[in-house]
Structure 1
């Protein structure tokens, strides 16, 4: 699969890389890391990154603005996105050839090849394996920093159950490159004073049920009262994750027309539950969308049944 991917990259002069909406470190790390890896080894090619910007993660990498005409005869690669409706920038089908690289369970089959490895901790780990399996390729510290960011983000600093020996091997290769890890960690986990205040509200007001389900509901008015947006609020999903007796938890953050649900678990698999509520993801970390606070209560009730 890797050889097929590398051969396709060699064939195209223009390559456009997408990832999912509302990007996390793995989405940006795999997208940007792949772009750097291609640029480092094929300097004559035109490489573009597309998708909406993430203000909190702009320190990792920024996106390109390109015209529709650039897609003509281009190779399009989508990273870290299980289903087509979550791909950021719907022009992904406008190219000459489409490839998918992902580590989520397949819920929507697209791309050729469709390289999916659910045993991988992250899509960034998969991109790192391209470098590790092709010794003729070189890697710069920019590529290493981005791929390391993706692995760290999706493993919770190597704490989650998706970490394997391959994850540590990939990370060990990346940290051989002299990027500033301390600066990276400082930026990744930095919180604004406004977010710190909201973090205090979440800790004060989250609920914990007898079944071990934690949840907190953040209305749009509440979020705006802290001069923040729903994305800022969602970043706090793990702020009460270390409370004893907690098995699974969800943070709801309301935006204009919908309520985003960030669901996490230490035991029961939650990705099928997330799929029921217009979402999906990993067995231990998923996202969902509900249309009302009443539907949010239904999600909580279903999560309580899972934990019971």
Structure 2
């Protein structure tokens, strides 16, 4: 499949790369890192990045303004996105052919070319593997290495999560041979506004955990306003309770407009099946879901309790 994807890339003069809504560093890293690879190795091609910009990730790069008619003769590549509902910018369907590159379970097999590797730590890791598969046709460059490194760091939790494999570390070692500023990446990715730090303290004081190690916290609109924190910033605090002794799995619920975002994390129990029950999905130990009302929170927590027990 990697060979087929490279061959179809070579066929097109225009390539538009998408990723998922509410992007994280791996979404940006894989999307913009792939763009940097293609620009570096095929300077004659027009390579564009689609989607809504995320200000907190502007230090990695910015998306392009793309006219509708550009899609007509373009190859579209979607990175780090498990299902079509989560693709940022529905115009991905306007392209001539579609490629899916992802590391989430392949429950929505969209695209003309599908490359999914659930063993990879991140989509960024997959694209590093893609480049290194064809050393005579593709070469890494500093801009791409910086982006892929940020993506891998983000999805492995600074190499602390169990999805960090020997392969992950080998690729990371290859990337850091380039002289980009790693300190800047860590600083920008993990710096936290003062109001979010205060909310973090509130979470540490008020989260609930059962004797079986199932924990949860609900941040409603009133709390967001009290701490002057956006739903996105609140959601970034999901791992603040991961070091609590006895914790097995947990959910951070954050009210976001008409819905409630649920971010699930685990140290063992498989949680992506639970996330799927609530209009979500993801990895066995890190998933997301969307609740339609506050009344769904107790039943979801009860199901988490069963998984932990």
Distance 1:220 1:141 in 2: 42
Matched positions, count: 308
- Unmatched 5+ residue regions in structure 1? none
* Matched residue, 1:162: 163
TM-score (norm 2): 0.98
TM-score (norm 1): 0.98
* Matched residue, 1:181: 182
Structure 1 stretches of 4+ with a deviation exceeding 4 A read none
Q: Give SS of 1:70's match.
A: helix
CA offsets 1:73-97 (integer angstroms, 9 cap, x no match) = 1000000111111111111110000
* Matched residue, 1:99: 99
Deviation for aligned residue 1:233: 0.4
Distance 1:24 1:179 in 2: 20
* Matched residue, 2:217: 216
Deviation for aligned residue 1:134: 1.6
* Matched residue, 1:292: 293
Distance 2:227 2:247 in 1: 27
1:81 equivalenced with 2:81 (yes/no): yes
* Matched residue, 1:10: 10
CA offsets 1:52-103 (integer angstroms, 9 cap, x no match) = 1222222112111111111011000000111111111111110000000001
Deviation for aligned residue 1:112: 2.0
**Pairing of 1:93-132 with structure 2 (within 5 A):** 93-132=93-132
CA contact 2:132–2:139 (8 Å) conserved in 1: no
* Matched residue, 2:256: 255
* Matched residue, 2:207: 206
Distance 1:30 1:296 in 2: 33
- Unmatched 5+ residue regions in structure 2? none
* Matched residue, 1:237: 238
Distance 2:258 2:113 in 1: 36
CA offsets 1:270-292 (integer angstroms, 9 cap, x no match) = 00100000000000000001112
CA offsets 1:221-257 (integer angstroms, 9 cap, x no match) = 2112222210010000001110000000110110110
Q: Give SS of 2:295's match.
A: helix
* Matched residue, 2:172: 171
CA RMSD in angstroms comes to 0.9
* Matched residue, 1:31: 31
Deviation for aligned residue 1:294: 1.4
